[in-house]
Amino acid sequence: MSNFKVMIIDEHPIIRFGLRQLMNTDENFIIIAECCNSTEALPLAAQLQPDIIMIDTNLDGNKTFETMRSLRKRCTNSYLLVLSASAIKTDVYNAIDAGAQGYLLKSSELDMLFYSIKKASTGQHVFSEKIYQHLITRHQSNDPLSTLTRRECEILHEMAIGLKNKEISKLLFISEETVKVHIRNILKKLRVRSRLEASLIYLNSK
């Protein structure tokens, strides 16, 4: 087994530290870079061309998947491995659509996590069990939320717990008019006429 250059992209220092400690237990893995945002990560990844890029889904807010698509274009030979706390279907689907080749959960046991990373280094697709179940049923079931963007899912979640447009705009740092546009799109995609109907669909899917 040859040396594999690894890049870690995660907002949280403790996660980066833990991953570095884990990878350092095997001399075949070399951590060549760590970043906390896309501004740092994109030019560095293009320059270093890591063998494996480990990235969280919660990076720079809703720009995460744009970052993944850019990494896929700039680092065509890199293995894009998601390591996330999120098992939300839309995050999983968006990550795979953006070019991720593997998706592991941060809640994974360390032995299983490291075993999966080793498999990824050989080019194999690796997924946590819950992620795998989402993927194999993606086209077998009619998931009404699968057509929503991540931002639309965030807004729908806040709608479902009873927040008003003004409250949602403050929480997500977007204008109230932008919230209204997203809600109109949500109702159209879900083929419903009211916030209540949309909220019920969301709650029944969980």
Mean pLDDT score, 17-38:
94
In this predicted structure, the answer to whether residue 137 has a pLDDT above a threshold of 80 is: no
In this predicted structure, the answer to whether residue 110 has a pLDDT above a threshold of 90 is: yes
pLDDT in tens, 171-205: 999 999 999 999 999 999 998 888 888 988 888 77
| Residues contacting 52, CB < 8 A, separation 6+ | 4, 5, 6, 7, 78, 79, 81, 117, 120, 121
Domains of the chain with bracketed CATH: 4-136 (3.40.50.2300), 144-205 (1.10.10.10)
